[in-house]
Amino acid sequence: MNASNDTALCQRTPLLKAVARSRRLEAPYDVVGTAAGDDRAVAVSLMMLSTRSLDGVDIPPMEGLVSAHVEALAAWSSNAIVRLTSAWREPRDCLRMPAWVAAWKTAARHLHQAGRLSRRDLDHEAFRDEVAVLWPGESLQPLRFALLAQDGCALSHSEARLLAGAGLSDTKIEAPSVARAEPSLFRLLRGKTAALSEEARAVLVGRLLAWQRMDPIAAAMLVELVDAFDPDAVDEIRVDVAFALQAGGAVPPPFAYVLMTSWRIP
């Protein structure tokens, strides 16, 4: 297997090795092992996402498991997703097959980022939500993070993904807003960390330290945000998680992915 480019980052290597050696879940469900580049786990994920498996030749595939393996492979190597999908059925040819739809919807953002997917490829109602996120309309108006936080606004993950395309109008985001914000709002801060005051950044770091009590998606988003201005704080968490894994502990896949690769939450 070709190693992901992420393994070249020396500060992440201990965690990668720890995760690769840990067996959080029995095969064929060890998606964290896939993201870590474990040969056996990667092979299982590739098998689970083969045309034969997605067609349900042997057993009916579960949509959630299909999506999980797509994300795990993408965390290991974005090139693996490009190669894999080049052998898949075209989206328009599998619209009545839920596993195929789930696979394409999950892979879409990675292919779009790699310049291997056009809007026309997903021109069908089944992919409408993903199209709206990847190609946001001009009708979306910028949001005020401070106001959303003040109002206690909580978003579903799909809502947060869609609204993130609108951008934020805040020129400065202060600590009180970050402290009271619902975790689902963190997705709106992607690419906006320059607007955070020093105090607001400190609050984000503090909230990240409580990752074990957070939703894994929100915790993963916090890793991405904090890494933009305080990578040392994230490296300290990598070390803690590596020791925990070596001691037989577990870590949710999204959180593991952002700590050991360049994968980002949808």
- Residues facing residue 168 across a β-bridge: 143
Residue pLDDT, tens place only, 162-191: 999 899 999 999 999 999 999 999 999 999
Q: Please state, rounded to an integer, the average pLDDT across all residues of the chain.
A: 88
pLDDT of residue 241: 84
* Res. 27: pLDDT tops 50: no
pLDDT of residue 1: 45
* Res. 247: pLDDT tops 60: yes
What integer is the mean pLDDT of 195-212?
A: 96
pLDDT band at 19 (very low <50, low <70, confident <90, very high): low
Residue pLDDT, tens place only, 37-47: 888 889 999 99
pLDDT of residue 242: 82
Is the sign of the CA dihedral 113, 237, 23, 61 positive or negative? Answer: negative
Residue pLDDT, tens place only, 140-160: 899 999 999 999 999 999 999
What integer is the mean pLDDT of 211-232?
A: 94
pLDDT of residue 61: 76
pLDDT band at 11 (very low <50, low <70, confident <90, very high): low
pLDDT of residue 140: 83
Q: Return the percentage of the chain with pLDDT > 90, whole number.
A: 69
pLDDT of residue 13: 58
Is the sign of the CA dihedral 244, 245, 251, 257 positive or negative? Answer: positive
More confident residue, 238 or 251: 238
* Res. 215: pLDDT tops 60: yes
pLDDT of residue 16: 61
Residue pLDDT, tens place only, 50-91: 999 999 977 777 899 999 999 999 999 999 999 999 999 999
What integer is the mean pLDDT of 6-27?
A: 55
For residues 107 and 77, the answer to whether their CB atoms sit within 8 Å is: no
Closest CA to 51 of 95, 99, 17: 99
Burial of 262 (0-12, 13-18, 19+ CB in 10 A): middle
* Res. 130: pLDDT tops 70: yes
